[in-house]
């Protein structure tokens, strides 16, 4: 029963984390189009609140519940090849999260160097990670 509770909360916070990972780069797309200071400040506030109020707590809780799941059956998870690949994708996701934070701070300090097109492509990366992670967890190949 504990396993199902941990798994449920792991999935809930993962969904919240991905919602932020999908939305923040979209805000960056819109932020690149700002021409006035009021809009610039508004987007900076939205980005900060999303990053620190939703994305980062959700990421931390996703990782906590994921680690708790591993602790219930460490021998199985540490021996499963599919799980090793999943962990690699999760580390890439954490790096992407960090990159989002860096880009957010660039906007905050009015030092954005990238175009709207860059952020449109940047926005697609977590989709690829999500597909890989879900397929690995469901199909458990290898």
pLDDT per residue as tens digits for the range 23-75: 999 999 999 999 999 999 999 999 999 999 999 999 999 999 999 999 999 99
pLDDT at residue 50, as a whole number? 98
Q: How far apart are the C-alpha atoms of 62 and 10, rounded to whole Å?
A: 5
Nearest to 86 by CA among 134, 33, 45, 20: 134
Distances (CA, A) of 40 to 54, 65, 96, 104, 132: 21, 36, 23, 12, 35
pLDDT at residue 53, as a whole number? 98
Q: How far apart are the C-alpha atoms of 69 and 5, rounded to whole Å?
A: 10
Q: pTM for this structure?
A: 0.95
pLDDT at residue 45, as a whole number? 97
Phi, then psi, of 57 in degrees rounded to 5:
-60, -40
Q: Measured on CA atoms in the order 82, 83, 86, 91, is the torsion positive or negative?
A: negative
Q: What confidence tens digit (pLDDT) does each residue in 75-89 have?
A: 999 999 999 999 999
pLDDT at residue 142, as a whole number? 84
Both structure tokens of 137: 């967890």
């Amino acid at each position: 029963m504990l396993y199902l509770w941990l798994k449920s909360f792991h999935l809930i916070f993962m969904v919240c984390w991905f919602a932020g990972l999908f939305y923040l780069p979209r805000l960056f797309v819109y932020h690149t189009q700002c021409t006035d200071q009021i809009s610039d400040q508004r987007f900076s506030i939205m980005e900060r609140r999303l990053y620190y109020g939703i994305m980062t707590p959700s990421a931390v809780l996703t990782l906590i519940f994921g680690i708790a799941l591993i602790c219930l059956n460490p021998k199985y998870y540490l021996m499963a090849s599919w799980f090793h690949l999943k962990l690699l994708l999760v580390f890439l996701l954490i790096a992407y999260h960090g990159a989002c934070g860096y880009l957010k701070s660039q906007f905050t300090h009015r030092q954005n160097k990238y175009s709207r097109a860059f952020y449109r492509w940047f926005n697609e990366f977590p989709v690829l990670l999500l597909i890989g992670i879900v397929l690995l967890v469901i199909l458990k190949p290898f």
